[in-house]
Structure 1
Amino acid sequence: METWNHPVSIKTITDYHLESFIRCPYKFYYHHVLSLNDGEIKWREIVQYIINQVVQKYYQLPFQEQNKLSILKLFDPYSSYISPQLFEARSHYYMTLAKITDHLLQFLTSRKNQHPPLFLYEKLKTYTRELETHLSVTFELVEWSTHSFTIKKFLVEADDELIKLYNYLIVVFSDKAFGKLPEKIEIIQLFTGEIYTYSPSEEDASQGIFYLNYMKSLLQQPRDYKRTASMRECMSCPFTQQCKDDYKISKEIKNSTLNFLH
């Protein structure tokens, strides 16, 4: 595909685009660069949307109403959004909903802080001189802590690369926008029930700049994009066939070039 050779212009780096790129550069290219969309909604997208809605509405309730029954009531209007046909199998459908509901009930009701959140699903933007671009981040839940603030993010699933990305992104953004680092960052993976806790230092801010600069350079060069090694990502990707076709063509061109050079 000829457009692979054209650099991508980046004016703003968003958390959503970086997450998409980490999951699969090819999918990112089709969806965000070429603006292709098959119109289908995948199970992880709709489940993540519902989680965001429930968490946001839960924290908007008076503290005395923040309990398990309220969470289940908040889930109820969205039950029709989740069709078993979106999942790999009916067993996958039931297992996913059971695990995510159970873990969300545990985490939300374990809250001890009665003060309203500092930020609740607020999108903020700041310019980063070292990156020569803006950073845009949606802060899902930010609470006051003893000496600073704590940032929490609820995800259906997260791997090590995605966790590292989010931690660095939050550290750099907080340093540039607030002049202060969060005391703690918590990433709550609702499928497994694991909580990844990270307490950043000033050194992490400079490492974060280096990491995001590296990510920016990768984003700008589509010809260097690599397909994900995750079979799970490919199974839920709407661009699987197009990806295979383009990959085959690019491989043939590369082999022809090598043969010519030899």
Structure 2
Amino acid sequence: MENLHAYRLLMNSYLSCPYDLVRSKESLQCAKKISLQNFINNVINGFFSKSCKEHHVLALLKMVDTYRRDLKRSVFDSTMEYTIALATITDHFLQITCDYIEEGNHTYVEHDKGLIINQYNEDQYSVKKLLTEVDEELSLLYAKEVCVELQKSFRCLPDVIELIDMMNGERHLYFPSKDGSDQSDFIYYSRPLVEKEINRICS
């Protein structure tokens, strides 16, 4: 039971910030991604916690201004790098927010995971996640874990999972197979990492 609880905490943490689990050898680079991801999550959670009437660009910019103060400047190589990263992410925030306002869809955020859910009806929904950086391996593993977790909540798979790289604006689309046959790889690849972290948490 203790391990199951630790697993749930770990998976929520992974969906919120995957870089915290898949640590690279470049610890400072990893710390930078984690700090930026926490900033992105806070802005998104803060924005979508507002009423629909307050979903406008000015509200977003206020969120950016509020949470940028929590960014750890020590993980950046220079003030210029910090400024460029903040400006780049803010620019992509504005593009995404403008798209959302124009679409006017029924959208909400799972706050503990930072997943943006757009639900059309009981059986159809899409998922969007804003990530600091996305590479091909992370994209595949992350999307599969989103499927595993959300199927428990919705009892059906999302139509599409969109992962947005906030540093370059690229969008990675993942279309889950309805029979779930493409999700088993996540367990295989992630199990050693998961077990290692669970043992650390429970020790």
* Fold equivalence (TM over 0.5): yes
Q: Write the letter of the residue equivalent to 1:150.
A: S
Match of 2:124 in 1: 148
Match of 1:108 in 2: 97
Shift of 1:168: 0.8
Q: Is 2:94 the counterpart of 1:97? A: no
Q: Is 2:176 the counterpart of 1:166? A: no
Shift of 1:179: 2.3
Q: Is the 8 A contact 1:66 1:109 kept in 2?
A: no
% identity of equivalent residues: 25
Distance 1:98 1:113 in 2: 25
Relative to 1, partners in 2 of residues 1:15 and 1:98: Cα closer, same or farther, differing over 3 Å?
A: same
Unaligned runs of 5+ in 2: 198-203
Q: Is 2:188 the counterpart of 1:213? A: yes
Q: Is 2:13 the counterpart of 1:16? A: yes
Q: Is the 8 A contact 1:172 1:209 kept in 2?
A: no
Shift of 1:181: 0.8
CA RMSD of aligned residues (A): 3.0
Distance 2:13 2:127 in 1: 17
1:126-205 paired onto structure 2 within 5 Å:
138=113, 140-145=115-120, 148-203=124-179, 205=180
Distance 2:187 2:49 in 1: 33
Q: Is the 8 A contact 1:150 1:183 kept in 2?
A: yes
Q: Which has the higher contact order (CA 8 A, sep 6+)?
A: 1
Distance 2:164 2:147 in 1: 17
Relative to 1, partners in 2 of residues 1:212 and 1:68: Cα closer, same or farther, differing over 3 Å?
A: same
> Scaled by the length of structure 2, what TM-score is found?
0.75
Shift of 1:75: 1.7
Relative to 1, partners in 2 of residues 1:108 and 1:178: Cα closer, same or farther, differing over 3 Å?
A: same
- Greater helix fraction, Structure 1 or Structure 2: 2
Deviation above 6 Å: which 4+ runs of structure 1?
none
Distance 1:96 1:180 in 2: 36
Q: Is 2:63 the counterpart of 1:44? A: no
> Scaled by the length of structure 1, what TM-score is found?
0.60
Match of 2:60 in 1: 71
Q: Is the 8 A contact 2:45 2:111 kept in 1?
A: no
**Counterpart of 1:14 in 2: which secondary structure?**
helix
Distance 1:176 1:82 in 2: 33
Q: Deviations over 1:185-227 (max 9, x none)?
A: 1111111111111221124x222124313421464479xxxxx
Unaligned runs of 5+ in 1: 1-8, 28-40, 124-137, 223-262
Distance 2:119 2:194 in 1: 34
Q: Is the 8 A contact 1:96 1:191 kept in 2?
A: yes
